[in-house]
Amino acid sequence: MVDAVAAIRRVSKVSKGLSGCSQKALKEATASIMESAQVLLTRSTTEETALLRAQNKKLAAQLAELRKEHEDFKEEMANFRREQLKREVGLPHITPQLQPQATSETSKQQPSQEMELTRLIRQEMASFNARFSVLEGKILHPPLAADQRSTQAPTYAAQVAAPRAAQPAQAAAATQNKSTTAASGKRTQQQQKRLNWLKKQLSLLSQPYANPLSYPRRSGR
């Protein structure tokens, strides 16, 4: 390397076509090459290893900081989801503690809150299932005896053959048949309304993140 630098200096002195700026650039380049060569020659293997170890230690510290930030971010996301779930169910808002306490009360508080949340959800689901069973029983009940009775209208021959005293009884039977038909139609309309309300409840239950406490109650139950 020293011989190469000497050759560059010799060529720059011998060449007459080089300008002053070119000769100055060659001198600066040779000086920089010589300085770098001196640094490489004076540096030993131990110094190089120590430098690499220092750089490795710095990178390890940066990696540890990144991992800590990642864990903090995961904890914040978990707290956010927990608070969102409590807000949807209707539990009171609880501010998460930034610094963990060493007491056993705090460690037992979080599991108790989760158990309370689970208990409330199960209670609401059981109540809804009970209401659903009652509604299903009311809608799908067997036909009443009054619905099964069907009064046959008398034929023309029977009316002619029957005495005049039986005509009021036939008129009363026809009136009763009309009232029974009207009551059956009204009951069918009520059953259709109940069925529509039940379908609405099922559609609310199938929606994501549905709140059991916010189910609309049917008026006039």
Question: What six digits make up the tokens of 43?
Answer: 């540096």
Q: For residue 65, what pLDDT is reported?
A: 92
What's the pLDDT band for 141 if we cut at 50, 70, 90?
A: low
Q: For residues 22-39, give the mean pLDDT.
A: 78
Provide the pLDDT for residue 210: 46
* CA distance readout (Å), 85 to 33, 73, 118: 67, 18, 11
CA distances, 39 to each of 8, 26, 35, 126, 156 (Å): 20, 20, 6, 81, 131
User: Does residue 221 contact residue 215 with C-beta atoms inside 8 Å?
Assistant: no
Reported confidence tier of residue 201, pLDDT bands at 50, 70, 90:
confident
Q: What is the distance between the alpha carbons of residues 192 and 186, in angstroms, rounded to a whole number?
A: 10
Q: What does the pLDDT look like over 100-132, one tens digit per residue?
A: 554 555 555 666 777 888 888 888 888 777 777
pLDDT at 190 over 50: yes
Dist. CA 61–CA 64, nearest whole Å: 5
pLDDT higher than threshold 50 for residue 209: no
Q: Quote the CA–CA distance of 121 and 212 in Å, as a whole number.
A: 7
Q: Please check the confidence at residue 57 and state whether its pLDDT lies above 80.
A: yes
Give residue-wise pLDDT tens across range 81-105.
888 888 877 655 455 454 555 455 5
Res. 166 pLDDT band, cuts 50 70 90: low
Q: Is residue 201 within 8 Å of 127, Cβ to Cβ?
A: no
Report the pLDDT value the prediction gives residue 23, as an integer from 0 to 100: 72
Q: Quick one: average pLDDT of 139-154?
A: 56
Give me the count of residues in the chain. 221
Whole-number Å distance between alpha carbons of 10 and 106:
82
